[in-house]
Amino acid sequence: MKEKDSKKTGTFYGVGVGPGDPELITLKALRVLKAAPSIAVPKSREQRKSLALTVVEKAVGLEGKEVFELVLPMTRDKETLERARQEASKEIIERLSEGKDVAFITVGDPLFYSTFSYFVPLVTEGLAGVRVEVVPGVTSVSAAASSAGMPIAKADERVIIVPSIKNTKEIRVLLRGFHTVVLMKISNFMDEILDTIEELGLTERSVFVSRAGWPDQEVVKDIRKLKGRKVDYFSMIIVRPVAEE
Ligand SMILES: C[S@@+](CC[C@H](N)C(=O)[O-])C[C@H]1O[C@@H](n2cnc3c(N)ncnc32)[C@H](O)[C@@H]1O
């Protein structure tokens, strides 16, 4: 066998580091991150520092590790995104081909609104036979519910999780159809969401949570106070429209 063929390919790990509190990282994530020589950090150009990397720095440390950033544009243009992901996947494949394990870190869980899901097909198509392993993480929804002391679901209740909603009619329909509505990625549509919740008389059944589990976490029960305010990207609103029994 030629030397090139005998080199073992590294494992591609998707590691959820939890919502931000380093104590909420799992033992499995700690083990994988301690062992992995290379850490892939997805990041937008505009983002100062990756939140996921801050967690890894606090919980594991970065000494002796290669940290490489995958710079992805903040755009909805599919072609631009696809091109950037293709380029970034080459960086991952390069290291895996050298036999290094790569840990792709993500806030919360890697299979829950994370770019990791886009990289799995790119890496497996680009590197035949590569092993992919996912390490789940505590999601921001669980963290926000805990911070707010609000149940997500009881008994046979129905829950819906909705990101980036921009249609007030749709918000109304959802608020009538579920026991819990979790609105994520709300920062660009806050006032419309707040107005709709108020019009339906659900302000008292709602809670806003920003940066759950972080030292600067904010939990706001009277969400009317937030009107006109620019809120952090790491924020969500949870509504429980139905009266408790
Ligand atoms: C791209 S999604 C990431 C979700 C993540 N993979 C997870 O498992 O929770 C980003 C959205 O998650 C929510 N989010 C993430 N971390 C949060 C936190 N610590 N507190 C409140 N919301 C958070 C916000 O709604 C934000 O717009």
Annotate 137-160 with DSSP letters as a single string.
---HHHHHHHHHT--S--TT--EE
Say what the pLDDT of residue 1 is: 42
Query: pLDDT tens digits, residue range 57-96?
Result: 999 999 999 999 999 988 889 999 999 999 999 999 999 9
Determine the CATH number of domain 140-239. 3.30.950.10
Whole-number Å distance, alpha carbon 43 to ligand 1 midpoint, is 14
Whole-number Å distance, alpha carbon 18 to ligand 1 midpoint, is 10
Domain 3-135 CATH assignment equals 3.40.1010.10: yes
**Which residues touch 55 (CB under 8 Å, ≥6 apart)?**
17, 18, 20, 22, 25, 105, 107
Whole-number Å distance, alpha carbon 163 to ligand 1 midpoint, is 10
**Residue spans of the chain under pLDDT 50:** 1-5
* Of 50, 74, 184, best ligand 1 pocket probe by most atoms within 8 Å of the beta carbon: 184
Q: How far is it, in rounded angstroms, from Cα 158 to Cα 148?
A: 19
Say what the pLDDT of residue 245 is: 63
Say what the pLDDT of residue 75 is: 85
Say what the pLDDT of residue 3 is: 44
Closest residue by CA, ligand 1 atom 23: 234
Which segments of the chain belong to CATH 3.30.950.10? 140-239
The pTM (predicted TM-score) of the whole model is 0.93
Which segments of the chain belong to CATH 3.40.1010.10? 3-135
Say what the pLDDT of residue 49 is: 86
